[in-house]
Amino acid sequence: MAIKPSEAQATAVRARAEANFKKQERAREGAEAMQEYLANGRLVREKTERLRALRLAKEAGDEKRAAQAAASKGG
């Protein structure tokens, strides 16, 4: 015959199970938050690289046009 746990034991078991569940849920949410944080960081770096490349290309074009304008005025 199986022995039934007392009301206090059942409550304690339930409380431990709920605490364990909450701990696992916090760990899962923390892992998801970390993945989101890393993904956002990656997006920022990619955008920064793209904008830097555009800025450098514009600056190179500006310098080329300035050199051409100076050559046409001087020549």
Q: What percent of the chain has pLDDT over 70?
A: 92
Q: What is the pLDDT of residues 19-54, one digit of tens each?
A: 999 999 999 999 999 999 999 999 999 999 999 999
- pLDDT number for residue 31: 98
| pLDDT band at 73; cut points 50, 70, 90 | confident
Q: Between the CA of residue 63 and those of 28, 44, 52, 73, what are the distances in Å?
A: 53, 28, 16, 15
- Report the predicted TM-score, pTM, of the whole model to 2 decimal places: 0.60
Q: Is the pLDDT of residue 3 over 70?
A: no
